[in-house]
Structure 1
Amino acid sequence: MAANPFVYGEIVTDAAFADREVERDRLARDLLAGQKVFLISPRRYGKSSLVRSVLRDLGRQGVLTVEVTVAASSSYVGFLEAYARALLLAGTPTGRLRQWAGELLGGLRPEVRLDADAPGAPRAVVAFPGIRSSRDVARLAAEVFALPGRIAERRGRRLAVALDEFQAITTFDGGSVEHALRAAVQDQRQVGYVFAGSEPSLMEQMLTPKRPFYKAGPVVRLEPIDPDDFAAFIERRFVRSGIRPGEGLGAAVVDLAGNVPYDVQRLAHELWDDVRASGRKTATVEALHATLTRLLQEHGPMFEDAWQRLTLAQRAVLRAVVLEDGRGLLGADVRLRHRLASASSVQSSLAALVRADLVARPTPERYVVVDSLFREWVARQTY
């Protein structure tokens, strides 16, 4: 039995990756050249899968690769420990980790151990228990941020570092983190960096003239995949798995999922499962709508809870975002049509919806509902 060819909710493999050849090639070239790249993407656009794909390719070419999700750390020291661990493990057997840490960071007295209680196989842990004061933290940061350059020099190999959800760095220790990191990376010629973030407004702010990363390197902004290309990709994947796509199926999937890569893969994945379970050999647009109805029913309680948490003003603005395709929301005609209050009140509600991660603002002119399923639920179930 063929496996489902559509992947969502995890890092997408190369075979299931749609498009992005231009971005992949550019990012790989820049990292090999030691560039410091900012990768800016809306949520659910496949940013992390893109980065992982490029790192895999570079690894096959003998480049040492490191990937750390900044937002996964609950503190600045926690991030520095996670970053140090990832760097020390790059191309290093776990059995030599303690020796390698002592050689490179001995002055900080790192504690290296295996966490046998972690899920799965025992996991190496690097900690710095002696770090207590703010001065200690600054010293630790300087040493860890210098580590990629030292490793590349000691190993005689290029190094590619990916710091994902990089916008979270601004929550650590005020603005000093950006200054310390920029000062360290600018002279590391053998190390390429990709600073990837899924909150475009925060990432763009980090590139303004008064911030440390101003003109630090190239900027890559992930744009929507061409809908025709995406539709063709969807239909090819159905064909290769033994299911014939009905006329217009790919375009319908892309349209209903808002041309958001995560949502497109999700809807196609669920449709494929439903068609295979039914024993049919063709995936039709009618079957697609049946799958969408099922998903809306399954997610209904969660969406209802999210809706109930909103104020009446926020609900009205959210409906306007859905029904007006997120455009012209402050205009008098839109406010009149949807019985919205003043422009300032609409702005306040939009800001609250963005903070709640229900709505995003991919461009200055437009707001979108983050989850296309929630968008469909609002359109169909609210008044």
Structure 2
Amino acid sequence: MGRLCGKRQTISFTLYTDSYLFTRQATDLSFGISWKELEKQPDDILDLAENIARKKDLQLVICIDEFQNIMQFGNSDAFQQKLRSHWQNHQQVAYCLYGSKRHILRDIFSDPSKPFYKFGDLMLLDKIPESEWIVFLCRRFQDTGKTLLPDDARLIARLADNHPYYVQQLAQQAWFRTNDECNQDIVLSAHEDIVNQLSLLFANSTEKLSSFQINLLKAVLSGEKQLTAKDTLEKYQLGTSANVVRIKRGLIENEILDDTGEELSFLDPMYKYWLQKNFFKK
């Protein structure tokens, strides 16, 4: 798997080899490239993985995380077109392009006007099921000589809404507070501490929202499904149905809400909790 490192002049590869049936060895290979030389022959870099794969008779998979950040590049469409013109001809390298901002990735691969339109299969991953989190968390606590009961593992997963980052952060904070056996009070205390640590960030983000956006968030938190219905528009002072569409689009672009096609949901479960218990409660 190849990855671009912090310095733009360096490319680093981690090569995995299975030398024994149950032994996996990793080898790091790093080399420097002059940026001046790179500017002269940019096509060589784009074809580097394919050339290595052909020479070594390998099948490679290149994984690029947070691929949606390509939209922030100068003249992004031209760069995307250049990438595709090379990658679509590669026979021994497959590309796994993924990221955390679903709506941007959907635009990159589903917009007919974009270079990466239908470049490959588009997969929208569901959250890791609660049942799998329970098994994983209990086992990880057990591996360190501590006990986490299934009910408390379930509580961790639910408080974090099965969000991978927050599940692991909450579990870690609960683990730090546990001597021998974790319990509900420890989990709840760890959860409150995480939310309190983020409260200033949440408050600053909320101050930047318009009154219409805040009203829509309140409607979503209240479980309203028909946001453009007349009663909902009046109850939450949302204006017109067209205004709701604009508000919703803005909240999605600001990565506060996500539209799964069935309902609107909060991307950050801790922010959702903070709004419910701190902002709207006041």
Look up the SS of the partner of 2:11 in the other structure.
helix
Following the alignment from structure 1 to structure 2, what is the Cα–Cα distance between the partners of residues 148 and 130? 15
The 5 Å alignment of 1:122-133 reads 124=32, 126-128=34-36, 131=39
Q: What do the CA deviations read for 1:121-156 (whole angstroms, capped 9, x no partner)?
A: xxx46302795xxxx7xxx44333222222223344
Aligned residues: 267
- In the alignment, is residue 344 of structure 1 matched against residue 242 of structure 2? yes
C-alpha displacement at 1:92, in angstroms?
8.3
Q: 1:249 to 1:333 in 2, by over 3 A?
A: farther
Q: Which of these residues, 326, 329, 337, is aligned with residue 227 of structure 2?
A: 329
Q: Which residue of 1 aligns with 2:121?
A: 218
Q: 1:232 to 1:334 in 2, by over 3 A?
A: farther
After TM superposition, what 4+ stretches of structure 1 lie above 4 angstroms from structure 2? Answer: 87-94
What percentage of residue pairs aligned between the two structures are identical?
Answer: 21
C-alpha displacement at 1:265, in angstroms?
1.0
Following the alignment from structure 1 to structure 2, what is the Cα–Cα distance between the partners of residues 298 and 87? 35
The 8 Å contact of residues 66 and 100 in structure 2, kept in 1 or not, is answered as yes
Q: Which residue of 2 aligns with 1:66?
A: 2
Q: Which residue of 1 aligns with 2:11?
A: 86
The 8 Å contact of residues 317 and 340 in structure 1, kept in 2 or not, is answered as yes
Look up the SS of the partner of 2:193 in the other structure.
helix
The 8 Å contact of residues 212 and 237 in structure 2, kept in 1 or not, is answered as no
Following the alignment from structure 1 to structure 2, what is the Cα–Cα distance between the partners of residues 221 and 259? 16
Q: Which residue of 2 aligns with 1:62?
A: none
Following the alignment from structure 2 to structure 1, what is the Cα–Cα distance between the partners of residues 109 and 192? 42
Look up the SS of the partner of 1:207 in the other structure.
helix
The 8 Å contact of residues 141 and 180 in structure 1, kept in 2 or not, is answered as no
Q: 1:376 to 1:125 in 2, by over 3 A?
A: farther
The 8 Å contact of residues 12 and 28 in structure 2, kept in 1 or not, is answered as no
Q: 1:176 to 1:87 in 2, by over 3 A?
A: farther
- In the alignment, is residue 183 of structure 1 matched against residue 85 of structure 2? yes
Q: Which residue of 1 aligns with 2:215?
A: 316
Q: What do the CA deviations read for 1:306-327 (whole angstroms, capped 9, x no partner)?
A: 2222222222222223332x84
Q: Which of these residues, 128, 131, 138, is aligned with residue 235 of structure 1?
A: 138
Q: What do the CA deviations read for 1:162-217 (whole angstroms, capped 9, x no partner)?
A: 22222233444242223222221222212121112322222223333554434433
Q: Which residue of 2 aligns with 1:198?
A: 100
Look up the SS of the partner of 1:222 in the other structure.
coil
The 5 Å alignment of 1:14-25 reads none
Following the alignment from structure 1 to structure 2, what is the Cα–Cα distance between the partners of residues 158 and 331? 54
TM-score, length-scaled by structure 1: 0.61
Look up the SS of the partner of 2:123 in the other structure.
strand
Q: 1:68 to 1:329 in 2, by over 3 A?
A: farther
The 5 Å alignment of 1:4-15 reads none
C-alpha displacement at 1:233, in angstroms?
2.0
Look up the SS of the partner of 2:98 in the other structure.
strand
| AA in 2 matched with 1:269 | Q
Q: What do the CA deviations read for 1:217-237 (whole angstroms, capped 9, x no partner)?
A: 333332111222222322232
Using CA pairs below 8 Å that are at least 6 residues apart, which structure has the higher relative contact order? 1
Q: Which residue of 1 aligns with 2:23?
A: none
C-alpha displacement at 1:363, in angstroms?
0.9
The 8 Å contact of residues 2 and 13 in structure 2, kept in 1 or not, is answered as no
TM-score, length-scaled by structure 2: 0.79
Following the alignment from structure 2 to structure 1, what is the Cα–Cα distance between the partners of residues 237 and 120? 46
Following the alignment from structure 2 to structure 1, what is the Cα–Cα distance between the partners of residues 145 and 100? 35
The 8 Å contact of residues 322 and 369 in structure 1, kept in 2 or not, is answered as no
Following the alignment from structure 1 to structure 2, what is the Cα–Cα distance between the partners of residues 364 and 251? 27
Look up the SS of the partner of 1:244 in the other structure.
coil
Q: Which residue of 2 aligns with 1:356?
A: 254
Q: Structure 1: which 5+ residue stretches go unaligned?
A: 1-64, 73-80, 98-123
Give the CA RMSD over aligned residues. Answer: 3.1
The 5 Å alignment of 1:203-282 reads 203-208=105-110, 209-246=112-149, 248-276=151-179, 281-282=180-181
Q: Which residue of 2 aligns with 1:292?
A: 191
Q: 1:336 to 1:195 in 2, by over 3 A?
A: same
Following the alignment from structure 1 to structure 2, what is the Cα–Cα distance between the partners of residues 312 and 93? 53
Q: 1:296 to 1:204 in 2, by over 3 A?
A: closer
| AA in 1 matched with 2:263 | R
The 8 Å contact of residues 327 and 366 in structure 1, kept in 2 or not, is answered as yes
